[in-house]
Structure 1
Amino acid sequence: MIHKSVLLQEVLTDLAFEKGNVFVDGTVNGGGHSSAVVELFGKDVQIVGIDLDTDALAKAKDRLAQGNVTLVNDSFRNIDVVLDTIGYKQADKILLDLGLSSNQFEESGRGFTFQKDEPLSMSFKKEGGVKGFTAYDIVNTWDEENIADVIYGYGEERYSRRIAKAIVEARETAPIKTTFELVEIIMSAVPNSYQHRKIHPATKTFQALRIAVNDELGSLRDGLSKGFERLRPAGRFSVISFHSTEDRIVKNFFKDRVVEKKALLVHKKPIIAGEQELTENPRARSAKLRTLQKI
């Protein structure tokens, strides 16, 4: 399966690439956005592709073979170390696409989707979460209050307390090992009326567990701060977010840089996908693109 990059044309327009640019694709994944840059500029844009997922990097290597590309297995929160290691002091353009790819949902086998019965990992890294734990560890070892706090804080799930209580009760009988087991527990905890909405009742809980396992919000804050420091004057920084918590972090970071007179917003309001893209790629429905230009 070839992953469809969200807001592709909008990213190309916002970042306004030029020959000789150094472009950091902080979430290169399978190489979707970067491949469009390679198609337009060939080897005339130097691309640094960063990703925690080695499977994704393998796909990106094949897809970006015609470009001037350096791929690095790391988190974008370490963008400063990555640039130092490969010898770049600054970047002209930076992109963070914070969503999971369709490949990660469909092919990873790490429990990102509730539509397949897989082990409860949810880690971008094959060997486990960035802090050494997985979703299995959270649901089987954390106390009820902490589980509820994660589900509410990272998933904005209104029934977080009920779900956490059901998880703790279920694990007393046997460990919760797979996605389907967790889905069944979630479904048993929420009201019947909640089970017939557009969004699956497990969506927010799965999102919350994934964010916790990968420390996604901590990574985002670090990546924004370090990335901006390494951005060349007049350089541009684009971020695609997929839920309100991460979008709020991006919005506030960009706003603070504008107030400090260190940057300008390329557009005041976030760009969202148009009707045609939503028809072709439903995953884009919650995507928001914000772009900053450094002064």
Structure 2
Amino acid sequence: MAREHVPVLAGELIDLLAPAPGETAVDCTFGAGGHARLVAERLGPDGELIAIDRDPEAEGRFAALAAELPCRTRFLRAGFAEGLEELREEGVRADLVYLDLGMSSMQIDTRERGFSYSYDAPLDMRMDTTQELTAAELVATWDERALGRLFKEYGDERFSRPIARAIVRARESGPLETTTALVDVITAAVPAPARFAAGHPAKRVFQAIRIAVNDEFGQVDRALPVAWDVLRVDGRFAGISFHSGEDRRVKRFLADLAQGCICPPDFPVCACGRTPQAELLGRGIVPTPGEIADNPRAASARMRAARKLQEGPVA
């Protein structure tokens, strides 16, 4: 049974975004609705909450929550990049846009989804259960070099090559179709002294496969400029990340928007005419020790936020 979902950095998100009556908020990654509830309660009857999620199970959770909220509500079942594109095409302008990246606790704890190395389940890992690519297919079809690169770049796995080699050899005897089968191969490929030196030996490989199956980094790269376009002037944006690859993307995007003149330092006067489009709201906000004690899964979270100062082209 899935444990109760606890939204990460919830108080900090509300403080920075400051949702107000009558505003429109876009929750790009609805999940279990923890952040959405807190935001929507502050929008009032004249406000609107638009939620996006590609997980089919999220739509039912949204319907149950929407019945309790004081504001108008709307749900889009789509990846957040595609959902934001749809809103932009409709001409929607929002006062608040926020993303809680990665997967929700409910997805981890729903054993049959195959996200966790702690449970025996089909090797699935799809956030959108209607898509074709599964973790089992990825493990069965990617060659050794591609698997090794994936584990290194997306999982920071120092034993990426021997693990990739072991997977390719193991699948010669039959497909790896369950989480336990994959865990056994990974564990055997990791040197004994390192197997439990820094957590479970399969943790980084499972993370890398999940990111690839769901194109999580691609979603972030496509979504960020669209989210900024949807935002009104004086609107607020926030992104919560749990992986350094996601956090780097959000950090670079907002830092570029907040930068003014880019002329060489030896220019006597500005020739580029560039002015900041964003005001950064805090820098890399992390959970308090108390929140981490109450919810250990919050430990790797980091939030970055900004206020939109003016319209302008976004690279």
Q: Same fold (TM over 0.5)?
A: yes
> In 2, distance between residues paired with 1:41 and 1:233?
18
CA shift for structure 1 position 30: 1.3
Deviating more after overlay: 73-82 vs 10-19: 73-82
> In 2, distance between residues paired with 1:257 and 1:109?
41
CA contact (8 A) 2:85 2:226 kept: no
Tell me the equivalent position of 1:223.
223
> In 1, distance between residues paired with 2:237 and 2:257?
12
Tell me the equivalent position of 1:76.
80
Residue 266 (structure 1) aligned to one of 281, 284, 287: 281
**Could you say what secondary structure the match of 1:278 adopts?**
helix
In the alignment, residue 105 of structure 2 is paired with which amino acid? S
In the alignment, residue 232 of structure 2 is paired with which amino acid? R
1:1-295 equivalences in 2 (<5 Å): 1-67=3-69, 68-84=72-88, 87-107=90-110, 109-128=112-131, 132-260=132-260, 261-267=276-282, 269-295=283-309
Tell me the equivalent position of 2:266.
none
CA contact (8 A) 2:139 2:176 kept: yes
CA contact (8 A) 1:262 1:294 kept: yes
Deviating more after overlay: 171-180 vs 71-80: 71-80
Deviating more after overlay: 283-292 vs 186-195: 186-195
| 1:100-140 deviation line (CA, Å, top 9, x unaligned) | 11110112622110111111111101123xxx311111111
**Could you say what secondary structure the match of 2:299 adopts?**
helix
Deviating more after overlay: 95-104 vs 190-199: 190-199
CA contact (8 A) 1:105 1:112 kept: yes
**Could you say what secondary structure the match of 1:218 adopts?**
helix
Aligned length: 290
Tell me the equivalent position of 2:312.
none
> In 2, distance between residues paired with 1:184 and 1:152?
19
CA RMSD, 1 decimal: 1.5
| 1:25-46 deviation line (CA, Å, top 9, x unaligned) | 0000111101112333443431
CA contact (8 A) 1:31 1:64 kept: no
Pair 100,163 (structure 1): closer, same or farther in 2 beyond 3 Å: same
In the alignment, residue 219 of structure 2 is paired with which amino acid? S
CA shift for structure 1 position 88: 4.8
Higher fraction of helix: 1
Structure 2 unaligned blocks of 5 or more: 261-275, 310-315
**Could you say what secondary structure the match of 2:173 adopts?**
coil
**Could you say what secondary structure the match of 2:158 adopts?**
coil
Q: Which runs of 4+ in 1 moved over 4 A?
A: none
In the alignment, residue 48 of structure 1 is paired with which amino acid? I
> In 1, distance between residues paired with 2:174 and 2:288?
46
TM-score normalised by the chain length of structure 2: 0.88
Structure 1 unaligned blocks of 5 or more: none
Percent of aligned pairs with the same amino acid? 39
CA contact (8 A) 2:5 2:105 kept: yes
CA shift for structure 1 position 156: 1.2
**Could you say what secondary structure the match of 2:112 adopts?**
coil
CA contact (8 A) 2:53 2:76 kept: yes
> In 2, distance between residues paired with 1:248 and 1:221?
11
TM-score normalised by the chain length of structure 1: 0.94
> In 1, distance between residues paired with 2:197 and 2:114?
22
Which structure is larger by alpha-carbon Rg, 1 or 2?
2
> In 1, distance between residues paired with 2:85 and 2:254?
22
> In 2, distance between residues paired with 1:143 and 1:223?
29
Pair 20,40 (structure 1): closer, same or farther in 2 beyond 3 Å: closer
CA shift for structure 1 position 80: 3.8
> In 1, distance between residues paired with 2:163 and 2:44?
50
